[in-house]
């Protein structure tokens, strides 16, 4: 998906995306920031920040002497993040609309670079993921930290399969749903994620698993479709078609005895060698 398409999809899904925060984005963002062990005064770059699931706890962790740049393509999510940051008086956090692959640190960032890079559920959207992440890693100071969250292998699989089958019935020819699955296998197990992070010149790699098995309620299922990249094939579709997809998807999940949505997530952090 192009940057414009991603922005359109995530802006359109802000209501559903926000409903997923307490169950999915929030716990992962908090865990990522805890595992990064940020220090007061640190400068943090949070890419694919959305509404700040990891950027908001990062801002609290680094305190008023630190700074967090939260970068995303989707204006509506950024605006949501700004509101929450303002409510919490987190004045050290800037939400900026930009493409992470083109981000240049402003002059407020120390010459040596950021202390940490965070990206929660975002790396799989970046084109040429290794190249993109490598470029971002170059924005860190020597000994800086990198942290990502990604879906663990098998997460959301039942939902994706059922959704793909339903789309084939109602929207034959629709693009494969969701983020390009090809890079996912590069970092969807603890070993693969460890190797992947090590490849950026990192040591002290730590990968933990955040088990997240959620009852497959109709609301959660549909929020997962509309609140993220799975929404893409439905953009611009008739309401009647969208409703048929929703009903068929729920029926198919029931027929397949899918009672749980596996949203288990890997949290990987590493310290740079250089």
Which residues of the chain form contacts with ligand SAM (CB under 6 A)?
3, 6-7, 10, 25, 29, 47-50, 53-54, 71-74, 77, 99-101, 120-122, 125-126, 228
- Count the neighbouring beta carbons within 10 Å of the beta carbon of residue 19: 18
Q: Which is nearer to ligand SAM, 69 or 240 (CB)?
A: 69
d(CA 219, CA 64): 38
- Least Å from the CB of residue 251 to ligand SAM: 26
- Least Å from the CB of residue 178 to ligand SAM: 10
Count the helix, strand and coil residues of the chain and give each as a percent rounded to the nearest 5. Answer: 45, 20, 30
- Least Å from the CB of residue 68 to ligand SAM: 13
Q: Which is nearer to ligand SAM, 41 or 105 (CB)?
A: 105
- Least Å from the CB of residue 63 to ligand SAM: 21
Q: Considering only CA atoms, which of 90, 204, 81 is closest in space to residue 147?
A: 204
For 154, 205, 271, the CA distances from 147, given in Å and listed in that order, are 21, 10, 9
Burial code of 45-80, b = ≥16 C-beta within 10 A, e = fewer? bbbbbbbbbbbbbbbbbbeeebbbbbbbbbebbbeb
Q: Which is nearer to ligand SAM, 38 or 74 (CB)?
A: 74
- Cα dihedral 219, 220, 222, 227 sign: positive
Q: Which is nearer to ligand SAM, 126 or 162 (CB)?
A: 126
- Least Å from the CB of residue 49 to ligand SAM: 5
Q: Which is nearer to ligand SAM, 4 or 239 (CB)?
A: 4
DSSP β-bridge partners for residue 60: none
- Least Å from the CB of residue 263 to ligand SAM: 12
Q: Which is nearer to ligand SAM, 211 or 257 (CB)?
A: 211
């Amino acid at each position: 998906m192009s940057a414009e398409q991603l922005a359109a999809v995530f802006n359109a899904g802000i209501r559903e995306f926000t409903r997923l925060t307490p169950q999915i984005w929030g716990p992962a963002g908090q865990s990522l920031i805890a595992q990064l062990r940020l220090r007061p005064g640190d400068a943090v770059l949070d890419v694919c920040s959305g509404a700040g699931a990891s950027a908001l706890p990062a801002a609290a962790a680094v305190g008023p002497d630190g700074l967090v740049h939260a970068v995303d393509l989707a204006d509506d999510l950024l605006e949501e993040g700004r509101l929450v940051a303002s409510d919490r008086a987190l004045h050290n956090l800037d939400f900026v609309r930009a493409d992470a692959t083109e981000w240049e640190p402003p002059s407020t960032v120390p010459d040596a670079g950021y202390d940490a890079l965070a990206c929660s559920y975002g790396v799989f959207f970046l084109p040429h993921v290794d190249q993109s992440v490598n470029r971002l890693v170059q924005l860190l100071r020597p000994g800086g930290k990198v942290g990502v969250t990604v879906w663990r292998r098998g997460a959301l699989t039942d939902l994706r399969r059922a959704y793909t089958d339903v789309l084939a019935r109602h929207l034959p020819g629709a693009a494969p749903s969701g983020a390009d699955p090809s890079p996912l296998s590069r970092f969807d197990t603890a070993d693969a994620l460890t190797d992947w992070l090590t490849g950026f010149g990192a040591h002290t790699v730590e990968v933990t698993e955040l088990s997240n098995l959620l009852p497959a309620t109709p609301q959660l299922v549909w929020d997962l479709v509309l609140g993220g990249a799975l929404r893409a094939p439905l953009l611009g579709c008739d309401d009647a078609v969208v409703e048929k997809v929703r009903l068929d998807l729920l029926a198919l999940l029931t027929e397949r005895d899918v009672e749980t949505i596996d949203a288990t997530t890997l949290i990987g952090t590493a310290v740079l060698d250089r």
